[in-house]
């Protein structure tokens, strides 16, 4: 039996948990009253009379499904429909009707028991067999388990004649004779279709056949030979599993895919021969090296197609060397109901480039994004398919990101039918055509070409192209000078990526505003707390914000804090640059627009963020203009926050310490110190757009 304070909920819950005895431990200890953190509010729903309950809960005899299946199906359908109309009363189930508490883990060697009612448990049971879809087939399933079943795809499938003409076939051997023509073919394919097939690509036909045979041999090995490679650890160089996104797609998209996969990370650090499964040793290394050489040629052609130097994508941008080459060897076992599931749902790969080799079975389809409508086309079997950036995305603009962030997003979302790139797309408003050139003056004394020795003609001003939004945002960010740098450089017009559409909402008259925003005198909480609590409740319910007086934060301290923020932002650039970062793990960071690469238009402001609690930065970490005053101001605001959380708790009918202490709302405190430099066109931009803060309280 743990001791409970009765006032510190988090501590009491931890004390209860530390006993490791559970509720049974409380009973064994002789408790005579239920601890407060177990107490519930009475449920307002009535309980039905036993006679009503007996009639309300349908009993279905499943044995009758063999005799009159249609009747049983109609009964189940009626239950499903009535469940959607949920009767507002509790109906206790008949005590004689029971469900099996536990089923056998495996009914056949590689077959998990599927409850049909607990999706997460069923997915885990399937995964725990480590046998994948092949295990289901080996166990003799005659129907596809429900979590593999897909809704029919609404897109039509193109006729074979249309497919043959729709998918570009590029002869890479011609690149040595008429390179310009091949580059043009690659450009047209990438712009209009997003993928193409290649011949005379340099990967020997025998090698491709050997690779396909090796993949088949691995997947058809006995289970005990594959189990050592079964893992969902993405850090493993060699891994075998079924549906990398099984536990995400199981909930976010309709169903899992009917396939098993062996992944091998081949570059930059290839696994040792001993790490590669025996059926694939030797051939996998040779095949990966050949595909890598093909990839180098394709990156050269794509670079030229983009009007870039031949080595830009592969060498300079690191698409070849900077990351990796992974081999994903899919296996699609024979399916008892091929019309009910899919081997791979609609998706976009996360790689710079995918070189896809299919066997003679066919089945591969790609979306053809051509009028009058999208439709599926079937590429030629046994001819490598190259999948690149996609025509529909050719004109889109994306924010900069890292490979780690991109892959984390891709793995997190799974194969949900959407491209992972959409998450990084800069909205159309920010990526729209630039304003007329006069809005972005290009005086020789204020601008210079990026990459030249005169990278800056003035200290804090980057060149703005006016045509490449992503490049312009990156150039602005690279100055590390923020909006203050633009002003110091003498801009006379607001750059286009700061321009906002006019806000349609009207502005209230000053007299209305004065009456609309509640003003709460916190000093009165000591005299008439109930009245102040009522005022807070009304303000929170009707307006969502309020102003406070007699709040305990000294006026001189507030003035000093504002002056310190101004001093920091008006320091020379070299004094601020050491704090300039977009790393949210940094306790002290300075930048302009934390969402610069995501928002429709940037805000005309710079910001210093300081995480003050629970881990306060050392005085040396805080910028000199703010040292001393920032710590004192943060402590005063934290005390104010504690008082406000008490009042809000009481306004909600909770104990005074609930939000601040028990729920942990006061455990963290961040200071965001915004600075809004003078603007040459104040009507064209905003210091802060309409938003809601992510904090408990601001």
Distance, CA of 666 to CA of 641 (rounded, Å): 7
Closest among 651, 402, 387 to 542, alpha carbons compared: 651
**Do the beta carbons of residue 244 and residue 411 sit within 8 Å?**
yes
The token duo for 112 is 């998990």
Specify whether 536 is located in the same domain as 645. yes
On whether residue 91 sits in a domain, the answer given is no
Neighbour-count burial of 527, counting CB atoms closer than 10 A to its CB (0-12 exposed, 13-18 middle, 19+ buried): exposed
The 3-class SS string of 218-262 reads HHCCCHHHHHHHECCCCCCCEEEECCCCHHHHHHHCCCCCCCEEE
Q: Is the pLDDT of residue 543 over 80?
A: yes
Backbone angles phi, psi at 177, to 5 degrees: -105, -50
Distance, CA of 197 to CA of 203 (rounded, Å): 13
Q: 421 pLDDT band (50/70/90 cuts)?
A: low
Specify whether 497 is located in the same domain as 603. yes
Q: Is the pLDDT of residue 279 over 80?
A: yes
Give 589's strand partners: 609
On whether residue 55 sits in a domain, the answer given is no
Distance, CA of 194 to CA of 187 (rounded, Å): 10
On whether residue 441 sits in a domain, the answer given is no
Segment among 88-102, 195-209, 223-237, 315-329 with least mean pLDDT = 88-102
Q: Which is more confident, 143 or 432?
A: 143
0.75 exceeded by the pTM? no
The domain spanning residue 212 has which CATH number? 2.60.120.330
Q: Which of 392, 419, 440 is the last residue of a domain?
A: 392
Q: 436 pLDDT band (50/70/90 cuts)?
A: very low
**Do the beta carbons of residue 136 and residue 110 sit within 8 Å?**
yes
Specify whether 526 is located in the same domain as 657. yes
Q: Is the pLDDT of residue 508 over 60?
A: yes
Q: Is the pLDDT of residue 126 over 60?
A: yes
Distance, CA of 219 to CA of 110 (rounded, Å): 14
Specify whether 497 is located in the same domain as 595. yes
What is the per-residue pLDDT for 321? 61
Q: Which of 392, 407, 434 is the last residue of a domain?
A: 392
The token duo for 123 is 């997915």
On whether residue 112 sits in a domain, the answer given is no
Give 106's strand partners: 112
Q: Is the pLDDT of residue 161 over 70?
A: yes
Q: Interior CA angle at 344 toward 339 and 347, to 5°?
A: 130
Specify whether 295 is located in the same domain as 198. yes
Distance, CA of 57 to CA of 59 (rounded, Å): 6
CB atoms under 10 Å from CB of 510, counted, come to 8
Residue range 95-120: mean pLDDT, rounded = 46
On whether residue 119 sits in a domain, the answer given is no
Question: 240-254, 446-460, 619-633 — which one is most confidently predicted on average?
Answer: 619-633
The token duo for 682 is 């104040």
What is the per-residue pLDDT for 351? 80
Range of the domain at 675: 469-684
On whether residue 425 sits in a domain, the answer given is no
On whether residue 524 sits in a domain, the answer given is yes
**Do the beta carbons of residue 344 and residue 373 sit within 8 Å?**
no
Q: 365 pLDDT band (50/70/90 cuts)?
A: confident
Distance, CA of 82 to CA of 72 (rounded, Å): 15
pLDDT for 475-506, tens place per residue? Answer: 899 999 999 999 999 999 999 999 998 888 89
The token duo for 139 is 């166990």
On whether residue 160 sits in a domain, the answer given is yes
Specify whether 361 is located in the same domain as 476. no
**Do the beta carbons of residue 198 and residue 175 sit within 8 Å?**
no
Q: Which is more confident, 569 or 399?
A: 569
**Tokens 């102040």 belong to which residue?**
532
Q: Is the pLDDT of residue 440 over 80?
A: no
Q: Which is more confident, 5 or 338?
A: 338
**Do the beta carbons of residue 694 and residue 670 sit within 8 Å?**
no
**Do the beta carbons of residue 112 and residue 129 sit within 8 Å?**
yes
Specify whether 508 is located in the same domain as 635. yes
Specify whether 174 is located in the same domain as 268. yes
What is the per-residue pLDDT for 527? 94
Q: Which is more confident, 5 or 656?
A: 656
DSSP at 29: T
Q: Is the pLDDT of residue 538 over 80?
A: yes
**Do the beta carbons of residue 118 and residue 80 sit within 8 Å?**
no
Give 539's strand partners: none
**Do the beta carbons of residue 282 and residue 288 sit within 8 Å?**
no
Average pLDDT over the chain, rounded to whole?
81
**Do the beta carbons of residue 685 and residue 601 sit within 8 Å?**
yes
Specify whether 646 is located in the same domain as 559. yes
Domain count of the fold of the chain = 3
Q: 427 pLDDT band (50/70/90 cuts)?
A: low
Residue range 377-381: mean pLDDT, rounded = 82
Q: Is the pLDDT of residue 240 over 70?
A: yes
What is the per-residue pLDDT for 247? 79
What is the per-residue pLDDT for 569? 96
Q: Is the pLDDT of residue 209 over 50?
A: yes
What is the per-residue pLDDT for 353? 87
**Do the beta carbons of residue 145 and residue 341 sit within 8 Å?**
no
Specify whether 479 is located in the same domain as 385. no
């Amino acid at each position: 039996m743990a001791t409970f304070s009765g006032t510190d909920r988090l501590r009491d819950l931890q004390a209860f948990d530390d006993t490791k005895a559970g509720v049974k431990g409380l009973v064994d200890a002789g408790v005579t009253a239920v601890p407060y953190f177990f107490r519930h509010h009475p449920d307002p729903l009535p309980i039905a009379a036993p006679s009503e309950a007996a009639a309300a809960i349908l009993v279905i005899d499943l044995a009758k499904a063999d005799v009159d299946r249609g009747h049983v199906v109609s009964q189940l359908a009626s239950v499903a429909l009535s469940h959607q109309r949920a009767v507002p009363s509790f109906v206790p189930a008949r005590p004689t009707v029971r469900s099996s508490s536990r089923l056998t883990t495996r009914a056949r060697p590689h077959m998990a028991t599927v409850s049909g009612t607990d999706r997460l448990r069923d997915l885990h049971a399937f995964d725990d067999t480590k046998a994948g879809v092949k295990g289901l087939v080996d166990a003799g399933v005659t129907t596809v388990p429900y979590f593999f079943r897909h809704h029919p795809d609404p897109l039509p499938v193109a006729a074979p004649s249309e497919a043959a003409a729709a998918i570009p076939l590029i002869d890479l051997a011609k690149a040595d004779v008429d390179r310009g023509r091949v580059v043009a073919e690659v450009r047209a394919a990438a712009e209009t279709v997003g993928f193409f097939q290649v011949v005379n690509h340099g990967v020997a036909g025998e090698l491709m056949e050997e690779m396909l045979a090796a993949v088949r041999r691995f997947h058809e090995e006995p289970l005990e030979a594959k189990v050592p490679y079964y893992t969902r650890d993405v850090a493993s160089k060699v891994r075998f599993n079924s549906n990398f996104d099984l536990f995400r797609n199981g909930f976010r998209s309709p169903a899992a895919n009917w396939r098993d996969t062996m992944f091998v990370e081949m570059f930059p650090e290839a696994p040792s021969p001993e790490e590669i499964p025996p059926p694939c040793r030797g051939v996998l290394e040779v095949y990966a090296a050949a595909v890598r050489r093909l990839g180098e040629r394709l990156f050269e052609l794509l670079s030229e197609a983009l009007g870039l130097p031949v080595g830009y994508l592969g060498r300079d941008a690191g698409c070849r060397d900077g990351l990796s080459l992974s081999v994903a060897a899919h296996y699609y076992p024979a399916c008892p109901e091929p019309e009910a599931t899919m081997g791979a749902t609609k998706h976009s790969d996360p790689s710079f480039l995918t070189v896809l080799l299919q066997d003679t079975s066919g089945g591969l389809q790609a979306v053809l994004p051509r009028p009058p409508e999208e439709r599926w086309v079937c590429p030629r079997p046994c001819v490598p398919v190259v999948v690149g950036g996609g025509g529909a995305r050719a004109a889109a603009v994306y924010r900069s990101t890292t490979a780690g962030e991109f892959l984390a997003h891709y793995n997190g979302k799974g194969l949900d039918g959407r491209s992972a790139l959409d998450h990084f797309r800069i909205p159309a408003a920010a990526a729209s055509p630039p304003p007329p050139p006069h809005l972005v003056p290009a005086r020789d004394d204020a601008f210079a070409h990026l990459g030249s020795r005169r990278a800056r003609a003035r200290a804090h001003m980057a060149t703005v192209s006016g045509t490449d939004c992503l490049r312009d945002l990156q150039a602005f960010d690279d100055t590390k000078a923020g909006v203050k740098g633009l002003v110091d450089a003498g801009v006379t017009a607001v750059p286009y990526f700061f321009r906002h559409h006019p806000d349609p909402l009207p502005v209230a008259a000053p007299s209305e505003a004065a009456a609309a925003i509640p003003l709460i005198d916190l000093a009165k909480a000591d005299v008439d707390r109930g009245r102040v609590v009522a005022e807070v409740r009304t303000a929170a319910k009707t307006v969502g914000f309020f102003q406070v007086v007699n709040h305990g934060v000294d006026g001189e301290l507030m003035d000093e804090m504002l002056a310190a923020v101004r001093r920091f932002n008006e320091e020379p650039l070299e004094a601020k640059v050491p704090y300039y970062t977009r790393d949210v793990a940094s306790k002290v960071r300075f930048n302009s627009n934390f969402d610069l690469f995501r928002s429709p238009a940037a805000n005309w402001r710079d910001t210093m963020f300081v995480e003050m609690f629970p881990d306060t930065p050392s005085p040396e970490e805080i910028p000199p203009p703010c040292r001393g005053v920032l710590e004192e101001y943060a402590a005063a605001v934290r005390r104010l926050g504690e008082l406000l959380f008490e009042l809000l708790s009481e306004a909600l009918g909770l104990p005074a310490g609930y939000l601040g202490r028990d729920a942990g709302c006061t455990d963290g405190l961040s200071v965001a110190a915004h600075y809004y430099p003078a603007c040459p066109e104040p009507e064209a931009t905003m210091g802060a757009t309409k938003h809601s803060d992510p904090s408990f309280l601001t």
